[in-house]
Amino acid sequence: MLKAMLKKEFTLILRDKHALAALFIMPAIFILIMSLALQDAFKSDHPFIHYALIDRDQTDLSTAISTALQSSESFIFHDKTITDKKQLQQALNGALQFVLTIPEGYSRAVRLESPDIGLRIDAASDVKQDMLTLFKGKLTQLSTQLSIQIMLQELEAMLPGISKKSEAIQKANSNIKVYFSGLAPDQHPTSTQQSVPSWIVFGMFFIIIPMSTIFINERKQNTLMRMQAMNISFPLLFTGKIVPYMLINQIQVWLMIGMGIFIVPLLGGDALSLGTSITGLFLVSLGLSLAAVGTSILIAVSANSVEQATTIGGILNILFGAIGGIMVPKFFMPQSMQTLSNISPMSWGLEGFLDIFLRGSGVREILPESLALTAFGGVTLLAAWGIFSLKTRNGL
């Protein structure tokens, strides 16, 4: 009996090109695009600030600042001739984020501790505040460090060896190694580790579209009524929906993981690493699947038409995704939004997946998310059951 229902549901989905596109192609494309697009943002050793430099001072200090900036791994120097305001504007409207001007007399002002002459930064209007902070910080560090070096060189005659000692201290201070939690010493978080779980979660909730379409058509055409007259009970009817869509969700999860492991690297992105807990991965994906199926059935039994269900389902998915950190990663959000994101079941699923993919966690760590998702799925299924019983009693 259940076998017939599973076969029917799979056949109907396989013949629905729109459903297949929403369930498999859409998340796969998102994974590819986002993994490649955000690749640089996750690389700590990758230059990402584009700047030009106007040196009006032409001294040892200004040259040293210029050289040190160019050797920094976070900055990309653009050799541009900027002599007037128009050229400056054009440069900032193009690829540059900053134009640094070292004014005439800067070196002398540093030596004489005159605050009147300082460095000038012209920034593009769309530059992010954290980039500006980083650029300013780097400049402050360089100018302080180089000024001290110049002063130490002047003191060398009185205190022989002081310059070398200072260099050794600086080298020791700059020898900083970063170890990411849950990752091997040579590993760092990648855009693929962030994108794959996000778009798996988003894609899983898209079963709302095919499920509600099939379910509402069955209701409208009295196929459900016919099945009921053939002794198909509500539990069996619901099981006939839950099982195939949970299986489809699991196929989605493993296909998208496969995308992350095999396809993204082929296109130049970082490969996904699975983490250490496959059991944890199963638990999160099963909980998430139950939550997605529960939400889908609840919408399918509540809506009066396919159009209504697909509209409500689509909007709900986008809202869950936007709040839950799918579209904008949570670490970009302010604290209040991060707290708000906890209302979205997509956020619980995403955190569970990130625990495994990104933080190297195991079953114990993902258990709260997995249980919350299962409970959410249970509650939505119970609500769907109640609404469906009520509607059936009133003649479907």
Q: Which residue, 235 or 258, is less far from another protein as judged by CB?
A: 235
Q: Which residue, 74 or 228, is less far from another protein as judged by CB?
A: 228
Residue the block writes with tokens 């369930």: 23
Q: Is 17 in the site for another protein (CB under 8 A)?
A: no
Distance, in Å, from the CA atom of 125 to the CA atom of 168, rounded to the nearest integer, reads 40
Give the x-and-dash track for 149-188 against another protein (CB under 8 A). Answer: ----------------------------------------
Q: Least distance from C-beta 11 to another protein, angstroms?
A: 6
Q: Is 120 in the site for another protein (CB under 8 A)?
A: no
Q: Least distance from C-beta 225 to another protein, angstroms?
A: 6
Q: Is 18 in the site for another protein (CB under 8 A)?
A: no
Question: Scanning residues 230 to 249, which ones bind another protein (CB under 8 A)?
Answer: 230-232
Distance, in Å, from the CA atom of 81 to the CA atom of 268, rounded to the nearest integer, reads 34
Q: Is 226 in the site for another protein (CB under 8 A)?
A: yes
Q: Is 15 in the site for another protein (CB under 8 A)?
A: yes
Look at residues 363, 353, 355, 369 and name the one whose alpha carbon lies nearest to residue 260. 353
Q: Cβ of 392: how many Cβ atoms within 10 Å?
A: 15
Secondary structure (3-state) at 151? helix
Q: By the 8 A CB rule, do 373 and 352 touch? A: yes
Look at residues 258, 298, 275 and name the one whose alpha carbon lies nearest to residue 386. 298
Give the x-and-dash track for 192-221 against another protein (CB under 8 A). Answer: ----------------------------xx
Distance, in Å, from the CA atom of 332 to the CA atom of 379, rounded to the nearest integer, reads 31
Q: Least distance from C-beta 2 to another protein, angstroms?
A: 9
Q: Which residue, 336 or 394, is less far from another protein as judged by CB?
A: 394
Secondary structure (3-state) at 154? helix
Question: Scanning residues 374 to 393, which ones bind another protein (CB under 8 A)?
Answer: 392-393
Q: Least distance from C-beta 8 to another protein, angstroms?
A: 5
Q: How many residues does the chain have?
A: 396
Q: Is 20 in the site for another protein (CB under 8 A)?
A: no
Q: By the 8 A CB rule, do 196 and 357 touch? A: yes
Q: Is 7 in the site for another protein (CB under 8 A)?
A: yes
Secondary structure (3-state) at 214? helix
Distance, in Å, from the CA atom of 372 to the CA atom of 379, rounded to the nearest integer, reads 11
Span interacting with another protein, options 8-16, 67-75, 77-85, 375-383, rule CB under 8 A: 8-16
Look at residues 46, 339, 322 and name the one whose alpha carbon lies nearest to residue 191. 46
Q: Least distance from C-beta 344 to another protein, angstroms?
A: 33
Distance, in Å, from the CA atom of 296 to the CA atom of 339, rounded to the nearest integer, reads 25
Distances (CA, A) of 371 to 285, 348, 349, 385: 11, 10, 10, 21
Query: By CB under 8 A, how many residues form the interface with another protein?
Result: 26
Identify the residue among 5, 69, 216, 326 touching another protein (CB under 8 A): 5
Distance, in Å, from the CA atom of 20 to the CA atom of 111, rounded to the nearest integer, reads 69
Q: Least distance from C-beta 354 to another protein, angstroms?
A: 38
Q: Is 12 in the site for another protein (CB under 8 A)?
A: yes
Which residues of this protein are in contact with another protein, per CB under 8 A?
1, 3-5, 7-8, 11-12, 15-16, 220-223, 225-232, 392-395
